[in-house]
Structure 1
Amino acid sequence: MKCPNCHHSNIGKIGVNQYYCWDCFIELMLVDGKLSLRQVEEDGSLTLLDDLFQESELKADANGF
């Protein structure tokens, strides 16, 4: 599996259908066959990044999930 943001495969599982890219610090959630990406901010809050990607980039099967 590869991160749709940095395209590296340094992904760890942090919960049920939740993953984390250790290279670009993005949290990935798998929801209904689609990835939802969030950036972890310094204060621990999450910023949604889905609008920065095309629909095809967020399909789970395209990223190996």
Structure 2
Amino acid sequence: MLKCPNCQSKDLGKIGLNQYYCWNCFIELTISDQIIQTHQVEEDGTLSSLDDLFHVEERKLS
């Protein structure tokens, strides 16, 4: 089962094809090539990458 790499929550909502939103820590997750890409949603609606906060191993789907 998919878990948020930031808070380990399973409380994720699907918002698009391979896109999820963590209702616990409020980040957006995108799955590409079995790797979870993490983004913070800014006030203006743009996305800022948070991938540099996690090792690739932490973002791999298990």
Q: TM-score, normalised by structure 2?
A: 0.91
Deviations 1:3-59 (A, max 9, x none): 110111110111100011011111000001111000011121110010110111010
Shift of 1:2: 1.3
Structure 2 gap segments, 5+ residues each: none
Which has the larger helix fraction?
1
Structure-1 separation of matches of 2:56 and 2:47: 20
Structure 1 gap segments, 5+ residues each: none
Is 1:58 paired with 2:59?
yes
Q: TM-score, normalised by structure 1?
A: 0.87
| Letter of the 1:14 counterpart | I
Identity among equivalent pairs (%): 57
Is 1:18 paired with 2:1?
no
Q: Which has the higher contact order (CA 8 A, sep 6+)?
A: 1
Q: Per the alignment, in what secondary structure is the counterpart of residue 58 of structure 2?
A: helix
